Structures are given as C-alpha cells and as structure tokens.
Amino acid sequence: MFDRFLSVLSLVSRFPVKGRFRFDASRMDFYIPVTGLFPTLLVAASYFAALYLSGLKLFAVAAAIFVQYLGFNLFHLDGLSDTADAFLGSQSREKRFAILKDSRIGVYGLFAGISAPAFKVLLLYGVLGGVNGTALTDMLVFIYPVSGRFGAALIPCMTGPAKPEGLGALAAGSRARRTLAGMSIALLAGLALGIAAAAFTETAGLWNPSVIIPYFVLPSLAGLLSAVFYARLYDKALGGYSGDALGAAIETGEALCLLFTAIALNAAGRVA
C-alpha cells in the first residue's frame, strides 16, 4: 500500500519523494484524488503565510497559486497546453499525436497556459476576497486541487489509453469504485483539517449547512464534468486518453470547482 501511494505521489509532484519504495502505480485510480490533499495543504499554507506577511489578499492568492504550480501543477499545465494545441484547430489523428509529443508550444497552448492560472487567481480571490462567512469557508475552498485529480482519475475508468506506453497506460484498468473511495477519503480528510483549523482559530458557525453540503457536491461535480469532457474528446479523436488528457482534466477540474464555489456562495449571499 505504501509503495503504491509513494509511486503515485512521485508521478504528480515536483518535490522529490524520499525513501525506498518499489514503484507500483497499479492503484492510481485510488491514490490520485488522495494526493490532491498535498497541493491543498500547500496552497492553504502559502496563502495564509503570504496574507500574514503582506496583509494583501490578492497578493496572497497569487502567491498561493504560484507555489502550487511550482510544486505540482506545471506538469498538468503542460498537458492542458498540449491539449489546446492538438485539439483547437483542424488536425488529423497523426498530427494530433505529433503535437502531443512535441515539446514546443503553439499559440493555442500559450493561450491556455496563461488563461488557466489567471482564472484560478481571479476565482480564488473572488471567493476569499468577498466572503462574508467564516474561517471554515476559507479552509474548505482550498479543496479544489482534489477536484481536478478526481477528474483525472475518472478518465481511465471511462476509456482506454490511446497507446500502450506512457503515463496514460499506467492508469489502464482503473475502476470507478476505487476512484470514488479515494475521492471520499480526500474530502473527509480535508473537512477534518478545515474544522480543526477553524476550531483552532475559535471561529463560530462551523457546521453551517450552506458551507458543508456544497463542499462534498461541488468538487465531485467539477471533477466529473472535466473527466467526461476530456474522455470523450480524446476517445473520439485519438481512440483513447493520454497523460496530457489527465493533466488537462486536473487543470480544468480545479478551475470549475472554484467557479462552482463562487456561484454557490454568491447564491447563498456569502460573497460580496
């Protein structure tokens, strides 16, 4: 079990994974959502540290997103950029494969690579900068990295790999029930951490249903929509997914989760 966890963590993190372990990625479907807790904690810690030092929420949000990309998401942003170059425009199947393998970036990829972090900064600031709520709300919105990884883990449950080699092939044989179990564990662990942090700061109103209930629904919905979109896109055009599809799903799922959170909080009157 520990070997499988460290194996998956080594694939999705830019931080070196220390310790001896036998590489075994056979349970990527379960562990990819669980590894989302690491960028969740990194983003939250970076945000509150930057906020404490500067007193500026916009700077704190930008710093948190910057650190997230350095630590985890640059891999996934590359997948989104490659996907944009390959699929935005009329290309043959062979040309799309060539673009996905090419290390160079085109105009579509550049646009996507700039837009994704920018949207996340704006959405996260919109939620955290305008919340008329509790510190628990601040804690729980940071769960959005789990949402994207849930989407990535679902794709191999919906279609097969386009080629028998590469990162995508490692996830072949994934099962939806294991992905759902990993997502549930990640959300429950995130909720426990959020409650503990809010309790530590002596914040009132911890069990407000308007916060707790959407917390379980919105990340799951965002991840599911992202998975369905990229699974169908890649399956129709290439006959299956690749590692770039998983990265694109992570980036898109994260942004959708933040967008859905902003919409839900606005509808509940919790965003100014």
Asked whether residue 17 is domain-assigned, the answer is: no
- Residue 131 falls inside a structural domain: yes
pLDDT score of 12 more than 80 = no
Helices assigned H by DSSP within the chain: 2-12, 28-35, 37-54, 57-68, 74-87, 93-101, 107-129, 135-140, 144-158, 167-170, 176-200, 209-238, 243-267
Residue 9 falls inside a structural domain = no
Domain assignment present for residue 13? The answer is no
- State the helix-helix crossing angle for 176-200 and 144-158, rounded to 10 degrees: 180
Kindly indicate the confidence band of residue 90, based on its pLDDT and cuts at 50, 70 and 90.
low
Residue 23 is assigned to a structural domain of this protein: no
Q: How many domains does the chain have?
A: 1
Name the pLDDT band for 265 (thresholds 50, 70, 90).
confident
Q: What local confidence, expressed as pLDDT, does residue 209 receive?
A: 63
pLDDT tens digits for 28-37? 889 999 999 9
Whether the model clears a pTM of 0.75, i.e. scores above it, the answer is yes
Residue 14, judged by CB atoms within 10 A of its CB (0-12, 13-18, 19+), counts as exposed
Tell me, yes or no, whether 257 lies in a domain: yes
Please write the tens of the pLDDT for every residue from 128-179. Answer: 876 544 456 667 789 999 999 999 999 999 998 888 776 767 777 788 999 9
Q: Distance between alpha carbon 105 and the CA centroid of its chain, in Å?
A: 22
Q: State pLDDT tens for residues 194-250.
A: 777 767 665 544 456 667 778 889 999 999 999 999 999 999 989 898 889 999 999
Select the highest-mean-pLDDT range: 21-30, 41-50, 135-144, 257-266.
41-50
Angle (CA) 27-28-30 rounded to 5° is 70
Residue 8 in domain? no
For residue 251, the enclosing domain spans 29-267
